[in-house]
Amino acid sequence: MKGALNNILEAMGNTPIVRLNSLADEVSSNIFVKCEFLNPGGSIKDRPALQIIKDYEDSGELKPGGTIVEATSGNTGMGLAMAAAIRGYKCIFVMPDKMSNEKILALRAFGARVMVTPTNVEPDDPRSYYCVARKAVEETPGAILANQYHNPSNPKSHVLSTGPEIWEQTGGELDAVVICMGTGGTVSGIGKYLKSKNPEIKVVGVDPMGSIYYDYFHTGKLTPAFSYKVEGFGEDFLPGTMDFSVLDDVVRVTDKESFLWTRRLVREEGILGGGSSGSAVCGAIRWAQKINQSLNILVILPDGSSRYLSKIFDDAWMKENGYLDPESGGTVAEVMSRRKNNLYTVNKDASVREVIDMMKAHEVSQVPILDGTRIRGLVSEVDLLTALVNGGATEETPVDKVASTNFAILEPNNSAALLGELFTQGRTVIVQDAGQIQGVLTKIDLIDYISHRLTNAS
């Protein structure tokens, strides 16, 4: 039949670009979205999934009747399962237990075996979905690991397909692209291609609160990750497919922001995006507000809403997790306003002796370490004492060598509730606004703020 495609894989790509109207009212820029959830497998991950399979076939490593194994949040698994169904392969997928039941059921519908592992474990823990996937490959004859986190076929797919598609659809009339950061394949591939066409195009990553990318981009330090609910992006380690050289900025969103903006995307724009899509739009609006220019900004919407009906679009689940409650605990800025002491910082090249003298002179117990205006870390009395006593440092050692990474960066408009979560993990919080450090918060600052609120309320 004329016009018919040979199989479902040929329906991949050429997803539409749509202007946002209501949601973009508050910014000067034009905001457009590319609806990648309209790919046949329901997400942008159809593209790397097919490229990974093709490259394994071309190398001879994936043979007829073989098995594809992958650690996935669900979307890459869907793309692999769909392609495997057409090409005659078996699939084994390993997923963290925070993922929606819809994703698990969808993968099983393709005949795949799905193994569910704990979410809150370290990447090198034998129970992590990365380690379980590798073990499944070892135990399965004829199996290959798709390995989206380190497979160059992942970003390659976006250099070959998504990037050129965006350039053609926009006619090059593009100033910035905003993309959620997971494996890094999407932002790295699209960013690499678009910058090859126009180096002035800004590439902005979006990271969930709890992931390591935001802090790493802004400080160059790997701070500890912590749990978050939003699915499909963010990471607790640095994948080989993440190329930071293409990034111009990274913005961060909370779970609550992600879910509420996802709902707004559906209800105000009629676009059935999933949690990462709402996150991307939230991040794009935040970045547009920060730069305050009239630009053409394209936002990649990675997946759709159908896999999150039992979570983001379920009022009971949203209420149970506190996402529909009004913010009642104040903001980080309000906690900062209670502080009386001055902010002191040190340059990364300052010696341990110079930092000790400065701490004594100003009676402070910890100070941020800066490289120009960029945060490099945090050093406390305990860090200095440990380094000196254990012989890891002398008085002439640059303070950057003994810095702690046990901190998190927040912005003034973040909820004060996040402070409590971070402090219970033993973290110190550095507050930053528009690239400028504003101060350091500790447990006693939050205690003082809460005590003040309770006193005024009584």
pLDDT at 331 > cutoff 90: no
Residue 60: CATH number of its domain? 3.40.50.1100
Residues 27 and 52 in one domain: no
Residue 35 lies in a domain: yes
Closest CA to 26 of 236, 255, 292, 234: 292
Residue 447 lies in a domain: yes
pLDDT value, residue 327: 62
* Overall average pLDDT of the 367-378 stretch: 85
pLDDT at 128 > cutoff 80: yes
Which residues, 6 or more positions from 118, have their beta carbon under 8 angstroms from its beta carbon? 96, 97, 127, 128
The CA distance from 71 to 168, in Å, is 33
Count of domains forming the chain: 3
Percent of the chain with pLDDT over 70: 99
Least confident of 150-159, 234-243, 312-321: 312-321
Identify whether 45 is a catalytic site residue: yes
Q: Which of 299, 320, 341 is the last residue of a domain?
A: 320
Residue 413 lies in a domain: yes
In this predicted model, what pLDDT tens digit does every residue of 180-222 receive, in sequence order?
A: 999 999 999 999 999 999 999 999 999 999 999 999 999 888 9
Percent of the chain with pLDDT over 90: 57
pLDDT at 445 > cutoff 90: no
pLDDT at 273 > cutoff 90: yes
Residues 259 and 291 in one domain: yes
Query: Is there a contact between 82 and 47 (Cβ–Cβ < 8 Å)?
Result: no
Least confident of 90-94, 310-314, 415-419: 415-419
Closest CA to 275 of 265, 284, 267, 285: 265
Residues 61 and 107 in one domain: yes
**The one catalytic residue among 45, 192, 221, 229:** 45
pLDDT value, residue 458: 58
Residues 179 and 315 in one domain: yes
Computed over every residue of the chain, the mean pLDDT equals 91
Residue 138 lies in a domain: yes
pLDDT value, residue 403: 82
pLDDT bin (cut points 50, 70, 90) of residue 125 is: confident
Looking up tokens 């820029």 gives: 29
> Model pTM?
0.86
* Overall average pLDDT of the 128-147 stretch: 93
CB contact burial 288-301 (16+ within 10 A = b; e otherwise):
beebeeebbbbbbb
pLDDT value, residue 328: 62
Residues 345 and 443 in one domain: yes
> What residue type is 427 in one-letter code?
R
pLDDT value, residue 26: 87
Angle at 335 between CA 333 and CA 336, to 5 degrees: 60
The CA distance from 352 to 358, in Å, is 10
Residue 365: CATH number of its domain? 3.10.580.10
Domain range for 190 is 21-39+172-228+247-320
Which element (helix H / strand E) includes 18? strand 17-19
Which element (helix H / strand E) includes 295? none
CB count within 10 Å of CB 217 equals 18
Residue 1 lies in a domain: no
In this predicted model, what pLDDT tens digit does every residue of 401-434 receive, in sequence order?
A: 888 888 888 888 888 888 888 888 888 888 888 7
Q: Which of 256, 288, 320 is the last residue of a domain?
A: 320
Residues 179 and 261 in one domain: yes
* Overall average pLDDT of the 282-310 stretch: 94
Residues 277 and 353 in one domain: no
Residues 298 and 399 in one domain: no
